[in-house]
Chain A
Amino acid sequence: MTTTQQTVRESFIGRFKPVAANGKSLGTEARNQALSALDTLEIPGRKWEAWKYTDLRELSQREYSLATASENIDIQPFLIPGMESDLLVFVNGIFVPALSHTGKNEGRLSITPLHDLKGEDAALFESHFAQLADPQSDIFTALNTAYASGGVFICVRKGQEALAPVHLLFLTDASAKASLSQSRNLFVVEEGANATLIESSRSIGENTSLRNAVTEIFVGENATLEYVKLQADTHQASLIDRTEVYQSQSSRCFTYTITLGGELVRNSLIFKLDGQHVESHLLGAWLLDGLQHTDNYTQVHHMQPNGFSNELYKGIMDEKSTGVFNGRIHVYRDAQKTNAYQSNRNILLSDTANIFTKPQLEIYADDVKCSHGATTGRMDESALFYLRARGIPEQAARLMLVRAFAGEVIEGIQNEALRGYLSEMIEKRFE
């Protein structure tokens, strides 16, 4: 490291330190590992394979202050109309009970702020925390493990079906000053349980902001999880998200990552299929304009036989925006009879938009079915003409085609109100 890099690194880490004083009794070992890893970890740049197309050094040099929570925020614009849910609101990374409401899933799942954990849930937390997101693997995970303070632990109890989705609203308030915040959550879906979790990332205010989020998810034997991320921040808000999913035998997990906003959004989504007959669906769409930059980095680890994974990411980029898809399927030697599919399809709406796509397969078993591919093109002019020839004005016709293209990604979402809302958000994105 050069001296400048060293200084940038240290001042970046320094910005997170003030909350360390917050006394915490859980996850101490991981926190200590993270703290010592911070002595050497660097801010990733393009020379790192996993960060080949996304450079965070500029972002790390900006001025931020660790923002505090506020209860005086109108959250109405960020709610999903017509959807009954347990609602958890986090402002600048901190859980705000006054804005939240729970109770729709009484007895079926537990929702506990990390600092309130005790008894069996505390033990459950300890045995799962930092087991997937290695605190020493990169500087953002280390910072999160060391200093994040305001997350929740959600446990869907054995054999229980959630009656309503749980909606986690991560709201960044950058109206007074630049905001730096972290989110750290742990979800355990126990054996045979079934739930839908939604994360919305939204922001208010004109100042710049950065949120560093780490989420670990365990999907137990025979359990089903639907997990939807709606990233619709302002063009000044950046998000570094790492989500790790660990699936046990015969479990099913569906993730939807929909990125509409944000200056720079980096999603690392890592799946470990550690059981037979596991099913994983990774779906994603991004719709970008201006100077937006979205990087979806995914890893799917097929560790056991008879697994199925299907990955579909679709990008639409306008103006000078940049999309990145960097996805790897890894089939371990023992993972015979794996079916793994991956596809990335993109539409560039302007000559100045960019897409970098890098699908990768690494296969060490011999009896597998795998495919991957990427396409990039323009909007289908003959379809556009067909719509216009039927009287539909050009702009409306374009929006129809945009929604049709991205809409495929969300077709499978179970909750109708949620699916309708996302569909509308997508359609309105370029209005």
Chain B
Amino acid sequence: MLHISNLHASVEGKEILRGLTLEIGPGEVHAIMGPNGSGKSTLASVLAGKEDYEITDGEVLFHGKNLLDMDPEVRAGEGLFLAFQYPVEIPGVSMVNFLRTSVNSVREYRGQDVLSAGDFLKLMNEKKKIVELDANLTKRSVNEGFSGGEKKRNEIFQMAMLEPSLCILDETDSGLDIDALRIVSEAVNKLRSPERSFLVITHYQRLLEHIVPDFVHVLYQGRIVTTGGKELALELEAKGYDWIKEGAI
């Protein structure tokens, strides 16, 4: 469903992704690990369509279509979802208004009927339970005054609302306490299905104990330098990244 081949991306003239190749099949869970600054968030942003990055080479196909040609909103409509590492606060835009516009835009893109106010509220209440989100949070402005953990849960909540086929989670686990981590990973597990794939970016193996990946990749200096099964995460946890860095040089 997602083919990334030889992807090169730069920001302000500095090359961050330097020939990245990755293939994700339907229903698969891929984890990407790697030291800080290796380009994990850049990969997530490039896939979601952030304009700050210049793609200098390579190709990305999503369900067989050229992803890099699409506007961010089109990518969302096509089924791509990014749970942000740092969700943005948007004062003055209410969660409800934001979500309703978002869900209906995506539905419209997919040729589905726009939800009535009642159906939308029903859907919202149902999905809110999955992440145990405080009912009051949806009355506020988007992410405004949310704690770190609430912001992350809000991302997964939106993911559940939009029913994507590819979910990219950028360090959704960082800043979460043990309970929140459990809630978030259980929510993700509930959303797993044979058609829905995951790209889970994380620093820590502890998330991968809950969300068990099919593949673990190590990203270093803009390239995938090692790929393995879920045991690779354990190895990284024990040995750190130094052996990878040495091997890469």
Contact = CB atoms under 8 A, between A and B. Distances in A.
Interface of A: 380, 382-383, 385-394, 396-397, 400-401, 403-405, 407-408
B76 A391 contact: yes
Interface stretch (B23-31, B87-95, B209-217): B87-95
Contact of A386 (B87, B91, B92, B109): B87
A403 B98 CA distance: 12
B193 interface: no
B101 interface: yes
B38 to A, nearest CB: 22
B42 to A, nearest CB: 14
Contact of A391 (B50, B77, B141): B77
A397 B88 CA distance: 14
B82 interface: yes
B101 A394 contact: no
Nearest to B102: A390
A312 to B, nearest CB: 13
Contact of A394 (B73, B87, B162): B73
B198 interface: no
B158 interface: yes
B48 interface: yes
Given A383-B88, A390-B73, A400-B98, 6 more contacts: A380-B88, A385-B48, A390-B102, A393-B105, A400-B101, A404-B141
24 contacts: A380-B88, A382-B88, A383-B88, A386-B88, A387-B90, A387-B93, A388-B49, A388-B73, A388-B76, A389-B48, A389-B72, A389-B76, A389-B84, A390-B98, A390-B102, A390-B158, A394-B71, A394-B73, A397-B73, A400-B93, A400-B97, A401-B93, A404-B90, A405-B92
Interface in B162-183: 162
Given A394-B71, A396-B101, A389 B49 contact: yes
Kindly list the 7 A-B residue pairs having the minimum CB-CB distance in the complex, ordered from nearest.
Answer: A404-B92, A391-B76, A391-B106, A388-B72, A390-B102, A391-B105, A386-B88
Interface in B128-172: 141-142, 158, 162
Nearest to B107: A391
B105 A392 contact: yes
A401 B93 CA distance: 7
A391 B73 contact: yes
A388 B142 CA distance: 14
Nearest to B101: A392
A408 B103 CA distance: 25
A408 B91 contact: yes
A403 B92 contact: yes
A385 B82 CA distance: 11
Contacts of B93: 387, 400-401, 404
Contacts of B105: 390-393, 396
B101 A386 contact: no
Q: Which of B93, B103, B109, B162 has the most CB of A within 10 A?
A: B93
B92 A407 contact: yes
Given A396-B105, A400-B101, A390 B92 contact: no
A387 to B, nearest CB: 7
Most buried by B among A390, A391, A404: A391
B90 A386 contact: yes
Interface string B94-123: 000110011101100100000000000000
A389 B142 CA distance: 14
A380 B91 CA distance: 11
A52 to B, nearest CB: 31
Contacts of B73: 388-394, 397
Contacts of A393: 71, 73, 105
Interface string B36-53: 000000000000111100
A398 to B, nearest CB: 12
A389 B48 CA distance: 7
Contacts of A389: 48-49, 72-73, 75-76, 82, 84
A336 B211 CA distance: 63
A262 B75 CA distance: 40
A418 to B, nearest CB: 18
Contact of A385 (B50, B97, B158): B50
B149 to A, nearest CB: 18
Contacts of A383: 88, 90
A404 B30 CA distance: 38
A214 B51 CA distance: 49
A389 to B, nearest CB: 5
Contacts of A397: 73
Contacts of B109: 391
| Chain B CB within 10 A, most for which of A386, A390, A393, A407 | A390
B185 to A, nearest CB: 22
A383 B88 CA distance: 6
B102 to A, nearest CB: 4
A104 B82 CA distance: 54
Contacts of B106: 390-391
Contact of B98 (A382, A387, A388, A394): A387
A386 B49 CA distance: 10
Contacts of B102: 387, 390-392
A122 B234 CA distance: 89
Contacts of A386: 84, 87-88, 90, 142
